[in-house]
């Protein structure tokens, strides 16, 4: 018998939820895994949809119904991406929301508005394609621009009507352990008639769009097959098969992303109408919600891949960006034989294998950190013992960083400092980046020895120096990135002052000023009174772990965040906004194409590196300062530190873009064996010693 929702039943549900103490027992792994997933969704979704908007925007003069719906879908995905950083912070703090009920409601409203806006605009696109192909004459009026605009306005109004009732519901709730949760299902249990409301939301927000999309695309596929059978040219060209493939991808993405969440919600609400689930069932439902919501949010970063295959302009733009760097590398090599062409193919294959290994190492790192979180205590003993898995992961990770980073940065320093004849401001900045990386890398053997011996034999003063230089790295790197951003701003926005870019003395003076400022800030650690290593008689060196341990709430940390993170970030963001505005309004027409392309590549590289490596580190630093739990070990802090340290290796991308000599050196190293093999073949075939010497000199 179905139990109707009454005030009595809602009070029973509230009391049951209040008595459940296991609803967030999965906090241990969720506060690592969920921030990683949502950070990936944020970066990929934001960049992919910004690129889509960049492709759509110039074609607004040739606007049609598909363009209008696509633009609205892209805007909804971008707005959705902007809501994710708060969710990342919330999950990283272990389901804790210290920012108040108002911001919680605003975040939830933005989250759900743009999620269901995406669903509805995908439905509109399917109906639009159905009318265009199946019923082009009968309902063509629905594809006229003024009617399409009214439809879009109606969609946004419908979405607001679906989501605005959330404002009347309690969004945040203080749990028994002091954590304040936000936008979690148990917070809604006290709402009357909740099962009926959510079942209706599933029907309107998922059921109707799913049926509409399936019907429209099924009719569309049938029509395309019919056209292919009647027109042999269409069948031979394969256009119908490609269109059907794109349609299948759209349906697959929609079903995979949205179905798990809505089916999970529907089954629990039906069970809730029949009986009141116990704490274990509610906890299982909580875990399933966190997993299925992650699947649903993946849609915002999968949409750009659909654009890639469905939109010719988007695909052309992406391939142009990808091929530009490859073509520069290939053009630097003089092809004199088929063997040399095969060497280029080998280079591309080798690069893909390197990328695969990097992705594999990231997955390996995430898995080990998950194991570390679930199998080790979060509280350090009085002797300052490190978790065993942390030591193992650190030894493997820092061995890779040391080996690769040392070679990369020594090569960069050699190229920029010794072999570059015409130096510019960027050259000076690259030398400083390489020096900063090398300082950090040279200290890694001492860190690895400490982890392997489980003992710090180098004395307290060297530990303090090591800690100061460890903190020096992110501060100095961000300021150097800010200087490079300002340099590219002058190159693109103020080309009349481009002569200043060749003024090496000003660049040197800027770098000296940054070094003095950063060294002054890091020197405070040399005289740290609140020493975590005094309990072990200085046989440990916890100070060098920075945010993993060192998170006392004091003015030094806040000054560090202000002057060495926020200020350079504001400089970079300001430069990039002005550069993008000038590029969009065509104010860079007088700029040389190669200078513009090089500057854009540098900017994109810096943005990606800062977002992936430095932003998570400093966000975690802020959260740990607010948490203020002494010298306790933080797995999230360890993971964010590992990400930041990866920057010493990822700088190879920046070096590769800036310097053609560095490109040639990398290519020559990668292809050295292939060169020798080619030389031996030619020597045996022609017997020419001159060709051998010429190719060898080309390598050098």
490 shares a domain with 544? yes
Domain assignment present for 684: no
Domain assignment present for 675: no
* % of the chain at pLDDT higher than 70: 68
Range in 192-196, 359-363, 377-381, 561-565 the model is least confident about: 377-381
503 shares a domain with 390? yes
Other CB atoms within a 10 A radius of the CB of residue 73 amount to 25
Type and span of the H or E element at 172: strand 172-174
Give how far Cα 185 sits from Cα of 105, 106, 161, 269, Å. 14, 17, 20, 12
564 shares a domain with 456? yes
Taking the whole predicted model, whether its pTM rises above 0.95 is answered as no
| pLDDT tens track for 253-273 | 788 888 888 988 898 898 888
Which pLDDT score is estimated for 314? Answer: 55
Which pLDDT score is estimated for 124? Answer: 87
Type and span of the H or E element at 270: helix 239-274
Report residue 227 CA to chain centroid gap: 42
Domain assignment present for 146: yes
| pLDDT tens track for 54-70 | 777 766 666 777 778 88
Q: Give the dihedral sign, CA 326/328/332/337.
A: positive
Q: Write out the residue range of the structural domain in which residue 507 sits.
A: 352-658
User: Domain ends where: 305, 320, 335?
Assistant: 320
361 shares a domain with 488? yes
Strands 180-182 and 172-174: antiparallel
Q: Which residues pair with 173 in a beta bridge?
A: 181
Which pLDDT score is estimated for 362? Answer: 41
356 shares a domain with 316? no
Residue 361 predicted with pLDDT over 60: no
What is the average per-residue pLDDT within 556-582?
A: 83
Question: Using alpha carbons only, how large is the chain's radius of gyration in Å?
Answer: 29
Confidence of residue 624 (pLDDT cuts 50, 70, 90): confident
Domain assignment present for 184: yes
User: Domain ends where: 621, 639, 658?
Assistant: 658
Residue 346 predicted with pLDDT over 60: no
Domain assignment present for 681: no
Contact, 611 vs 644, CB < 8 A?
no
| Dihedral angle over CA of 129, 134, 139, 140, nearest 10 | 60
609 shares a domain with 465? yes
Confidence of residue 690 (pLDDT cuts 50, 70, 90): very low
Range in 181-190, 577-586, 669-678 the model is least confident about: 669-678
Give the domain CATH number at 119: 1.20.1070.10
User: Domain ends where: 320, 343, 377?
Assistant: 320
298 shares a domain with 394? no
Best CA proximity match to 699, nearest among 688, 677, 681: 677
Mean pLDDT taken over the chain: 73
Domain assignment present for 331: no
390 shares a domain with 264? no
Which pLDDT score is estimated for 249? Answer: 73
Q: Is 335 left (phi over 0), alpha (psi -120 to 50) or beta?
A: beta
Type and span of the H or E element at 34: helix 27-56
| pLDDT tens track for 439-486 | 888 888 888 888 777 777 777 778 888 877 887 888 888 999 888 888
387 shares a domain with 315? no
Q: How far apart are CA 252 and CA 597, in angstroms?
A: 36
374 shares a domain with 414? yes
Phi, psi of 181 (to 5 degrees): -90, 155
Which pLDDT score is estimated for 387? Answer: 67
Give how far Cα 90 sits from Cα of 30, 177, 184, 372, Å. 11, 16, 11, 21
Domain assignment present for 257: yes
Domain count, the chain: 2
CA atoms within 13 A on the CB side of 167: 10
Return the DSSP state at 183: S
Type and span of the H or E element at 234: helix 232-237
373 shares a domain with 316? no
**570: Cβ–Cβ under 8 A, 6 or more apart, which residues?**
none
Q: How far apart are CA 287 and CA 273, in angstroms?
A: 21
| pLDDT tens track for 514-530 | 888 888 777 766 666 66
392 shares a domain with 308? no
Contact, 37 vs 105, CB < 8 A?
no
Which pLDDT score is estimated for 665? Answer: 60
Domain assignment present for 328: no
Contact, 623 vs 633, CB < 8 A?
no
């Amino acid at each position: 018998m179905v139990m109707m929702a009454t005030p009595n039943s809602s009070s029973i549900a509230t009391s049951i939820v209040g008595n459940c103490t296991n609803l967030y027992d999965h906090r241990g792994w969720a506060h690592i895994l969920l921030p990683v997933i949502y950070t990936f969704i944020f970066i990929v979704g934001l960049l992919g949809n910004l690129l889509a908007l960049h492709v759509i925007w110039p074609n607004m003069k040739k606007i049609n119904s598909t363009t209008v719906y696509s633009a609205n879908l892209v805007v909804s995905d971008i707005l959705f991406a902007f809501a994710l950083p708060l969710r990342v912070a919330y999950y990283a703090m272990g389901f804790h929301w210290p920012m108040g009920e108002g911001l919680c409601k605003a975040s939830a409203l933005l989250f759900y508005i743009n999620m269901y806006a995406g669903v509805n605009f995908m439905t509109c696109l399917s109906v639009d394609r159905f009318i265009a192909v199946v019923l082009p004459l009968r309902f063509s009026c629905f594809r006229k621009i003024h009617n399409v605009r009214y439809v879009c306005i109606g969609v946004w109004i419908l979405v607001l009507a679906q989501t605005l009732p959330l404002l009347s519901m309690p969004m945040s709730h203080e749990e028994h352990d002091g954590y304040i949760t936000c936008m979690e299902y148990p917070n809604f249990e006290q709402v009357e008639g909740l099962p009926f409301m959510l079942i209706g939301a599933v029907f309107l927000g998922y059921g109707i769009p799913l049926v509409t999309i399936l019907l429209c695309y099924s009719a569309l596929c049938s029509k395309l097959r019919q056209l292919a059978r009647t027109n042999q040219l269409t069948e031979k060209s394969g256009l119908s098969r490609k269109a059907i493939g794109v349609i299948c991808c759209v349906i697959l993405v929609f079903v995979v992303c949205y179905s798990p969440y809505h089916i999970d919600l529907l089954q629990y609400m039906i069970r809730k109408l029949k009986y009141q689930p116990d704490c274990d069932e509610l906890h299982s439902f909580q875990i399933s919600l966190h997993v299925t919501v992650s699947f649903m949010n993946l849609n915002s970063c999968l949409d750009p891949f659909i654009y890639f295959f469905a939109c010719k302009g988007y695909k052309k733009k992406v391939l142009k960006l990808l091929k530009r760097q490859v073509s520069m590398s290939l053009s630097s090599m003089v092809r004199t034989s088929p063997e040399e062409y095969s060497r280029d193919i080998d280079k591309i294959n080798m690069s893909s294998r390197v990328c695969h290994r990097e992705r594999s190492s990231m997955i390996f790192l995430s898995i080990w950190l998950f194991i570390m979180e679930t199998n080790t205590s979060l509280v350090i003993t009085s002797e300052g013992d490190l978790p065993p898995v942390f030591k193992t992961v650190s030894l493997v990770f820092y061995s890779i960083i040391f080996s690769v980073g040392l070679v990369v940065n020594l090569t960069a320093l050699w190229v920029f400092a010794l072999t570059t004849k015409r130096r510019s401001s960027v050259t000076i900045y690259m030398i400083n980046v390489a020096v900063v990386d090398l300082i950090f890398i040279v200290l890694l053997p001492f860190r690895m020895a400490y982890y392997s011996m489980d003992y710090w034999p180098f004395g307290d003063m060297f530990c303090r120096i090591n800690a100061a230089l460890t903190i020096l790295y992110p501060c100095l790197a961000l300021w150097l990135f800010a200087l490079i951003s300002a340099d590219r701003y002058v190159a693109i926005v103020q080309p009349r002052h481009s002569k200043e870019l060749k003024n090496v003395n000003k660049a040197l003076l800027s770098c000296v000023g940054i070094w003095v400022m950063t060294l002054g800030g890091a020197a405070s650690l040399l005289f740290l009174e609140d020493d975590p290593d005094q309990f072990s008689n200085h046989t440990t060196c916890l100070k060098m772990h920075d945010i993993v341990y060192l998170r006392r709430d004091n003015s030094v940390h806040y000054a560090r965040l202000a002057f060495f993170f926020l200020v350079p970030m504001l400089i970079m963001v300001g430069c990039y906004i002005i550069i993008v505005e000038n590029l969009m309004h065509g104010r860079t027409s007088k700029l040389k194409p190669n200078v513009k392309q090089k500057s854009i590549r540098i900017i994109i590289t810096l943005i990606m590196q800062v977002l992936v490596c430095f932003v998570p580190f400093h966000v975690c630093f802020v959260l740990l300062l607010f948490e203020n739990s002494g010298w306790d070990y933080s797995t999230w802090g360890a993971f964010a530190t590992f990400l930041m340290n990866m920057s010493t290796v990822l700088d190879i991308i920046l070096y590769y873009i800036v310097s053609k000599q560095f490109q040639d050196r990398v290519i020559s190293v990668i292809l050295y064996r292939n060169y020798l093999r080619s030389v031996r073949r030619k020597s045996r075939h022609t017997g020419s010693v001159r060709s051998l010497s010429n190719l060898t000199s080309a390598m050098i």
